[in-house]
Amino acid sequence: MSPVHVPNRTPARLAVYRHTIAAVLTLCMSVKTFGQQVAPSRDQDTRTQIPTFLRDAFLTVNIGAIDQPFSQQQLEPGFHAASVTVPPVGVRVVLLGREFNRFLSAQASYLRPVNYVTYGVIAGPDVAGHHVRVNFGALTVTGRAPVRGSLNVYGELGLGLTSRTGFDESRASVVRDAHYASVVAGAGLEHRINRIWALTTGVTYWPGRSAVSQPRTLFASGGVRYTMRPLPETRVEANRDSDYVFPAHLLQIEYSSGIGYAINDFVSKTVPVFWGGRAKVGFGVATHYDQNVFHTRKVFALDLGVSAGWYKTRQNSDRFHTLSVYPLLRWFVMRPAAADVYVVYSLAGPTYISKTVLDDLDTGHRFTFQDFIGAGILAGRARRLNVGVKLNHYSNGNIFTHNAAVMIPLTISVGYAF
């Protein structure tokens, strides 16, 4: 019997560990430039006030009717659909907006239908029903004019992005992919409840493009806007005059062995509070550095973070790395004597990913987004020791035509807070 050759993976793993150690040292050295050098004392703590760069920033969520007149026209010659279903409900979210004054603001937004267009059984080559995913992004400027009292009329204009993912059969395109930029415009009414909350209603228009058989899109909606304003001094002092610990900095090292996908499936399908993905990671290590920029008296904290990760996929052992910046929302759900217990959620952290084809799946472009959800504890008298678990996800949010998405299962982290 000939001897079995066992490949030596030690050098590759040592390389990963070396990269990890180097990243940790780099992050440690960058603390001085990224934020405060040491955790401030209670009297010096300025994190109980909305930070300057977030003042007058806003988030908006709108839900309404989306009109996309898809038909047989979008099919390539030789195909015919038995049915075309165009769901009527869509959601638009302003991920980040900035109010310059009461008359002018700018915002980045994302629009998608709740359910995608579906083409039923198609004659020609035998094709089952398929979804056509169309998503919209926009960078716009909004001008407002008062009508009466707290009621304003507004107009919106800017750059729109339309991204359509079609489908193939037997290597023949049935509905082609499409990706193009255009002007986007809208108008509507706003009712300011107070300086923080407002109700909005209006119509937004994304033009179609005949060269790729993409119809125009109209979105009529209503929603609510939340604007971050400086807190009154009494509340700032109440937040500051607290015995609860909110670490100024948190440095973590995390490891994923590629197990725990049942949890990913549960939170992405059974209870859809997070996202799944088709490309799956079998091994990964990452470093995270979080800096707290705002906290309330006891429960809520807002951090900004940077991370670097090295991963290997489960199927083809494709190796790739990521670099991310991200916002992080942290809620302290329990604060017993022994440790503080928290949950975290991070959404849409801009990310560089080193490979776009993983396990023979096209994830899009090297620009993508990092999301994660998790829980952890801060233990010890000064709450220095950190242990946590996370689920991670990389996806471009369908702003590009290909988006297989990367799913990272249960990740265990240890860290040090200061």
Q: In this predicted structure, what is the pLDDT of residue 268? A: 86
Domain closes at, from 227, 258, 293: 227
Based on the fold, state whether residues 64 and 179 are members of the same structural domain.
yes
Based on the fold, state whether residues 150 and 260 are members of the same structural domain.
no
Based on the fold, state whether residues 281 and 259 are members of the same structural domain.
yes
**Chain segment 345-392, per-residue pLDDT in tens:** 999 999 999 999 999 999 989 999 999 999 999 999 999 999 999 999
Q: In this predicted structure, what is the pLDDT of residue 78? A: 87
Domain closes at, from 227, 244, 272: 227
7 domain-assigned: no
The C-alpha atoms of residue 289 and residue 24 are separated, in whole angstroms, by: 9
pLDDT band with cut points at 50, 70 and 90 for residue 127: low
The number of domains in the chain is 2
95 domain-assigned: yes
Residue 95 has pLDDT above 60, yes or no: yes
198 domain-assigned: yes
Q: In this predicted structure, what is the pLDDT of residue 226? A: 97
28 domain-assigned: yes
Choose between 170 and 22: higher pLDDT: 170
Residue 97 has pLDDT above 80, yes or no: yes
For residue 75, give every residue at least 6 positions away whose Cβ sits within 8 Å of its Cβ, in sequence order, or none.
Answer: 81, 119, 122, 174, 175
- Say if residues 193 and 199 touch (Cβ distance below 8 Å): yes
Based on the fold, state whether residues 320 and 371 are members of the same structural domain.
yes
36 domain-assigned: yes
Based on the fold, state whether residues 203 and 338 are members of the same structural domain.
no
3-state SS track over the chain: CCCCCCCCCHHHHHHHHHHHHHHHHHHHHHHHHHCCCCCCCCCCCCCCCCCHHHCCEEEEEEEEEEECCCCHHHCCCCCEECCEECCCEEEEEEEEEEEEECCEEEEEEEEEECCCEEECCEECCCECCEEEEEEEEEEEEEEEEEEECCEEEEEEEEEEEEEEECEEECCEEEECCEEEEEEEEEEEEEEECCCCEEEEEEEEEECCEHHHCECCEEEEEEEEEEECCCCCHHHHHHHHCCCCCCCCEEEEEEEECCCCHHHHHHHHHHCCCCCCCCEEEEEEEEEEEEEEEEECCCCEEEEEEEEEEEEEECCCCCEEEEEEEEEEEEEEEECCCCEEEEEEEEEEEEEEECCCEECCEECCCCEEEEEEEEEEEEECCCCCEEEEEEEEEEECCCCCCCCCCEEEEEEEEEEEEC
The CA radius of gyration of the chain, in Å to the nearest whole number, is 24
Based on the fold, state whether residues 249 and 396 are members of the same structural domain.
yes
Domain closes at, from 166, 193, 227: 227
What's the whole-number mean pLDDT along residues 403-416? 94
Based on the fold, state whether residues 244 and 322 are members of the same structural domain.
yes
Based on the fold, state whether residues 63 and 208 are members of the same structural domain.
yes
Q: In this predicted structure, what is the pLDDT of residue 192? A: 95
Q: What is the mean pLDDT of the chain?
A: 88
pLDDT band with cut points at 50, 70 and 90 for residue 124: low
Based on the fold, state whether residues 145 and 19 are members of the same structural domain.
no
Share of the chain above pLDDT 70, in %: 88
Residue 254 tokens read as: 């995390």
Q: In this predicted structure, what is the pLDDT of residue 70? A: 96
Residue 145 tokens read as: 């004019």
**Chain segment 19-59, per-residue pLDDT in tens:** 444 444 444 444 444 444 445 555 678 899 999 999 999 99
Based on the fold, state whether residues 107 and 45 are members of the same structural domain.
no
In this structure, what CATH number is given to the domain that contains residue 154? 2.40.160.20
1 domain-assigned: no
4 domain-assigned: no
6 domain-assigned: no
pLDDT band with cut points at 50, 70 and 90 for residue 172: confident
Domain limits at 108?
56-227
CB neighbourhood size of 238 (10 A): 14
Residue 247 has pLDDT above 50, yes or no: yes
Based on the fold, state whether residues 122 and 214 are members of the same structural domain.
yes
**Chain segment 1-26, per-residue pLDDT in tens:** 444 343 444 444 444 445 444 444 44
Share of the chain above pLDDT 90, in %: 74
Q: In this predicted structure, what is the pLDDT of residue 168? A: 85
Based on the fold, state whether residues 254 and 347 are members of the same structural domain.
yes
CB neighbourhood size of 269 (10 A): 10
**Chain segment 180-227, per-residue pLDDT in tens:** 999 999 999 999 999 999 999 999 999 999 999 999 999 999 999 999
